Amino acid sequence: MTDTHCPYCALQCAMTLTAAPDGPLPVSVAGRDFPTNRGGLCKKGWTSAELLGDAGRLTTPLVRGADGELHPADWDAALDLLAARLQGIAAKHGRDAIGVFGGGGLTNEKAYQLGKFARIALGTSRIDYNGRFCMSSAAAAANRSFGIDRGLPFPLTDLDTAETILMLGSNVGDTMPPFVSHLQGARARGGLIVVDPRRSSTARLCADGGGIHLQPVPGTDLALLLSLIHVVIAEHLHDAGYVSQRTSGFEALRQSVSSWWPERAATVTGVPASRIREIARMLARSGSAYILTGRGVEQHVDGTDTATAAINLALLLGLPGTPGSGYGTLTGQGNGQGGREHGQKADQLPGYRKITDPAARAHVADVWGVDPDDIPGPGIPAVELLQGAGLPGGVRALLVHGSNVVVSSPNVATVREALGRLDLLVVSDFFLSETARMADIVLPVLQWAEEEGTMTNLEGRVLRRRKALTPPPGTRSELWIMAELARRLDAPGVWSLDPAEVFDELARASAGGPADYSGLSHALLDLGVEAHWPFPVGSLGTPRLFADRFAHPDGRAKLVAVRAQEHEAADGDRLNLVTGRLLEQYQSGTQTRRVSELTAKRPALIAQLHPATARRHGIGEGDGIRIANDRGTVIARAELTRDIRPDTVFLPFHYPDAGSANLLTDDRVDPHSAMPEFKRALVSVSAE
């Protein structure tokens, strides 16, 4: 029996794997009691073992031949070829002609080593990761408001005793079902408030006296928040003592929301003015309130400002750092938190240090055994990195780890085209994903139950991932791959194959940074220590941030005035497109689409439409429909439901090829976070 954690979302539910040599699967899965999941698992967790014995598992490197097909190769030949190609491209086009694209599902050890590999072995600044598509707006907002970014700055169990919870842009009932148990206290008190254009499974918890569901026009969450702030200030509902002692910027914020009276906001959001006032008063009068945000309000060109407005509201009410109250954002990917802390982001070094900070560069360079000048400067964010591939000044080679960019990227047809322009595409994966099918070299790597390492969940809790199975012959750890390539490239420094040793180096590199792991080790975590970062040497960790001060030099949080932009609205011919996840699927579906039990209910793309909208367009239940805009066209089956607004159509984003919702999404980006506009697009709908 091996105690570990689920391979999917950032809840990182605890589970126990038991070897089953005579069973249909290599291991059996059981939920394990743990604060986040309390022994429960969702469908994805219960079926996670099926992937470990999947017939489509990659077990040998693949190299594209002169005939245009992928052919098996041995490891030495594949890595010799790869090293030679990388050296040739760097010699001809410069080191920044090589790009690296990481993933929020990689362990902390692999994420750390990938950032080091890119900057030291390859000498490139061109590294970013798929967390840019997930947490970047929330991170940018938290950094400018609090001075630090940790998804939940308190343990998840703190929500259990809440009287009121305002949740914007997150459907945890489908995306992380065990989370719902932490909402039941607020629900029982009638204090759960869910903001979502759909009556999602989470929104349905508000029925029968459980709380309030607000169904605003998609993309108008910022206006809604500005109006809530207006009411709090106009009616003197804010915590004046907290605001005076623990924040700065109140006067500018007050002026910025002066015109957002509820009646005006109602015309923009579709939420009645009376409801806006009711919720502002409900939050202000609650003895224990939390505000939580998710991707639905953050994956916009104004996502950073929207998350900032939610933080402003929380600060006005005196929630962050106050026992029994708080603000947090719900990290999505399994290691979305740790993945962005230790070097995959274009502008960061381990420990959440800024790559432009001379002191940070000197510290990390000392750990790596290089000169600070050998560390490249900041790179470019994901959309720019991908869209510019193969163009003058763009990358000519791209190494992809733990990401399926030809399904998950915005305006994905342009990304597919860009990858086709590359001189070299290398994908490390355990299945032949849609991105791997385009690759020149495919490297087979380990799955979650075959490796040791650590993950950092949505609470900033560092967890141990443990090996329960011997990997199939022919597969390799990314740590081994990077070490072998580093040797071939004559890279300086130490490139350990041992995850525990890599973690120890990560801990040293993070020491003194905002995300300080220096007091942690695999050995300490194996003792069952509750390890929330910052966890410097000699500490007991930090389960709750902000009790005494915020992370800005003056110890205060910043109230940052933001303004809502005008956006083109839906009309009679065009609908608002919103995208999201299904209960049975995860991210690009590379893993979950292979699990028969998960695909049985939703084998193909469905589009949710309101019955009135369907009638207007001559569409019936189950009909094939065409959803289109100037970026692309998607074919889906219609599902008619009154759970969605009449001006809106919903598509899940798990499906590939012509069923990819991201054929329609916009690649314009937030100016602060470089987050693309995933959640606001206008589309036409017609019967196929």
Q: Are 410 and 495 found together in one domain? A: yes
Q: Are 443 and 308 found together in one domain? A: no
What is residue 569's predicted lDDT score, i.e. its pLDDT? 84
Quote the radius of gyration of the chain (alpha carbons, Å): 24
Q: Which domain holds residue 26?
A: 2-53
List phi, psi (to 5°) of 687.
-70, 140
What is residue 567's predicted lDDT score, i.e. its pLDDT? 85
**Overall average pLDDT of the 511-527 stretch:** 97
Cα of 440 vs its chain's centroid, Å: 27
Residues 182-230 have pLDDT tens digits of 999 999 999 999 999 999 999 999 999 999 999 999 999 999 999 999 9
Residues 401-447 have pLDDT tens digits of 999 999 999 999 999 999 999 999 999 999 999 999 999 999 999 99
Q: Are 179 and 317 found together in one domain? A: yes
Within a domain: 569 = no
If pLDDT is split at 50, 70 and 90, which confidence band does 24 have? confident
- Report how many domains make up the chain: 4
CB distance 193 to 167 below 8 Å: yes
What is residue 518's predicted lDDT score, i.e. its pLDDT? 98
Angle at which helix 221-234 crosses helix 273-285, to 10 degrees, equals 60
Q: Are 66 and 187 found together in one domain? A: no
Which residue is it, tokens 């026992």? 323
> Cα–Cα–Cα angle for 607, 403, 508, nearest 5°?
135
> Cα–Cα–Cα angle for 418, 423, 427, nearest 5°?
75
Residues 102-161 have pLDDT tens digits of 999 999 999 999 999 999 999 999 999 999 999 999 999 999 999 999 999 999 999 999
Within a domain: 548 = no
Within a domain: 432 = yes
Query: Which of 16, 31, 53 lies at the terminal end of a domain, its last residue?
Result: 53
If pLDDT is split at 50, 70 and 90, which confidence band does 552 have? very high
Q: Are 311 and 172 found together in one domain? A: yes
- Ramachandran assignment for 12, one of left (phi > 0), alpha (psi -120 to 50 degrees), beta (any other): left
Within a domain: 645 = yes
